[in-house]
Amino acid sequence: MAAIEIMGSEFMSNECNKNKGFTLIELMIVVAIVAIIAAIGIPSYSAQVQKTKRVDAKNALLQTAQSLEKCMSLYGVYNNTACSVGNGDTIDSSEEYYTVTVTSAAATFSLSAAPKPGGAQAGDSHCASMTYTNTSAKSGTNNDCW
């Protein structure tokens, strides 16, 4: 019985002396899983951020259109010189991601928003331009821009 106890105590002492931690294989598996998740997640996140920033263009187009409609109500034309927005004007959006270009005549207007070169939205090829007209027609590079 004494020999069994000695062998049992030796076994227990060897178990307690083992190093605790991760093996290289386990660590590499975790790194591979994180890399796969990042490869999927980062492009999706970037696309969602670009889509969110398009709201800045929509707001700028609609605010500029509202100014032109106010001009029409006051003066009977969209291109009166007393209007705050005139033909050929360029207006920066509130977050400065887009530039709105105004094209107006007496009875019509067309607004076009394009990302500022070198800006945060410059790489947004899905909706490279968005337009709005006096007839409330909305268009963009793709149908889902608006």
* CB contact set of 42 (below 8 Å; sequence gap of 6+): none
Rounded average pLDDT over 107-127: 93
Name which of 74, 78, 120 is nearest 102 in CA terms: 78
Predicted TM-score (pTM) above 0.85: no
Q: Which residue has the tokens 């100014």?
A: 67
* CB contact set of 22 (below 8 Å; sequence gap of 6+): none
Share of the chain above pLDDT 90, in %: 73
Per-residue pLDDT of 36-95, as tens digits, reads: 999 999 989 988 999 999 999 999 999 999 999 999 999 999 999 999 998 999 999 999
